[in-house]
Structure 1
Amino acid sequence: MLSQKKIGHQRGLTTKKLLSSVLAVLALSMGLATMGTAPATASTPQCTSQSQIPMFSDVAGRNYKVWMPVYSGQINCWLALRSNSSAVKALQSSLRACNGQNIAIDGSYGPATQQAVRNVQTRWNSTHSTKILVDGIYGSQTRHAMMWYGYNPLLGYLCQYEQDKGGL
């Protein structure tokens, strides 16, 4: 009967290489190894700009609009540490005006913005049964969980959850 070490050598593998291969497969299957640094799936782009997005209409038919991060006009996008754009400014404005975060509005997603996003995520989890990942990355779950700063001609400047749904 052959020992494990001899089996590895018969296939041209050393024990070290065999162990490394097995550990790599285990890490991938458990999700411990990642490819790339993007916080979202490859199909979700990084937000690159900001746009006024209608949230609801009042009784007179006037739209309430908020500035939100977008990619080519679409709100399904992400922002993370080291993002720099007008999209980050839109996020920071709402974090500051509507979510109680004392951060600069400078368009740079640094540690302070990352912590502000974590604070919003943590606050959501402490008050709702539907939990979201607390990772400091802005994506669709955080977009639903936070309040947005906008304007309505009748009501003026207000803070509102996305689509007036109260979040997730």
Structure 2
Amino acid sequence: MRATRRASLASFAAVAALAVPALVVGSPGTASAASDTAAAEVQCTGFTNVSLGGDWYLHVPSAGSGNYNCVVVRGMKGLPVLVVQESLNACFDQNIAEDRDFGPATEQAVRNAQTQINNNWHSHVVDVDGRFGPITSSYFHFQAYDYSNGQNGRHTGVCYY
């Protein structure tokens, strides 16, 4: 079991507010409609590097710079899926392939994370539906990276939410 330290939502929000400008990384044509409902929603097309101060940062799925009002759902492929998969493994002790393909294993891992989130808050704060949307994102634990820790940054062993 991987040991991680977790920061508070207030800490993340305070640091995220300072993250201007944020670096946006996307991959064209990676989102596909998973259902009629998902087709009406804005799909995440990449991720934003959210600064935590110093050389530390998070990858957070987004649809443009700082637009986190988007979804990552079953049937999607690409970088936003990879970001979710990496944090599911690092921060929620899931054991899924980091293959950029949001299939049944990733969907179940998101459900597991949503259940953990509700248990951590001792309340129903997110729907356990296997969909990574804006509400799940606001409670989700993201792994932190460090630019000074190897080529292109490496995971720090810390997860923030």
Whether TM exceeds 0.5 here: the answer is: yes
Contact 2:48 2:64 in 1 (8 A): no
Deviation digits for residues 124-146 of structure 1 (CA, Å, limit 9, x no counterpart): 11231341110000012211222
Contact persistence 1:99–1:146 (CA under 8 A): no
- 1:38 counterpart SS class: helix
Paired residue for 1:51, among 48, 53, 56? 48
Please say if residues 111 and 130 of structure 2, whose CA atoms lie closer than 8 Å, have aligned partners that are also in contact: yes
Give CA-to-partner distance per residue, 1:103-142, whole Å, 9 cap, x none.
0011110000000000011111123134111000001221
Aligned with 1:159: secondary structure?
Answer: strand
What residue number does 2:59 align with? 67
Q: Given that residues 67 and 148 in structure 1 are in contact (C-alpha distance below 8 angstroms), is that contact kept between their aligned partners in structure 2?
A: yes
Q: For residues 159 and 104 of structure 2, what CA distance do their matches in structure 1 show?
A: 25
Structural RMSD (CA):
2.3
Q: Please report the TM-score for the alignment, with normalisation by the length of structure 1.
A: 0.63
> Following TM superposition, by how much is the alpha carbon of 1:160 offset from its aligned partner in structure 2, in angstroms?
2.6
**1:117/1:63 Cα in 2 relative to 1: closer, same or farther (>3 Å)?**
same
Which has more radius of gyration? 1
Gaps of 5+ in 2: 1-34, 150-154
Question: How many residue pairs are counted as aligned between the two chains?
Answer: 120
Asked if structure 2 preserves the Cα contact closer than 8 Å seen for 1:94 and 1:147, the reply is yes
How far has the Cα of 1:51 moved from its partner? 2.8
Could you tell me whether the CA contact under 8 Å between 1:117 and 1:138 is conserved in 2?
yes
Task: Determine whether 1:139 maps to 2:136.
Answer: no
Counterparts of 1:152 and 1:48, CA distance in 2: 23
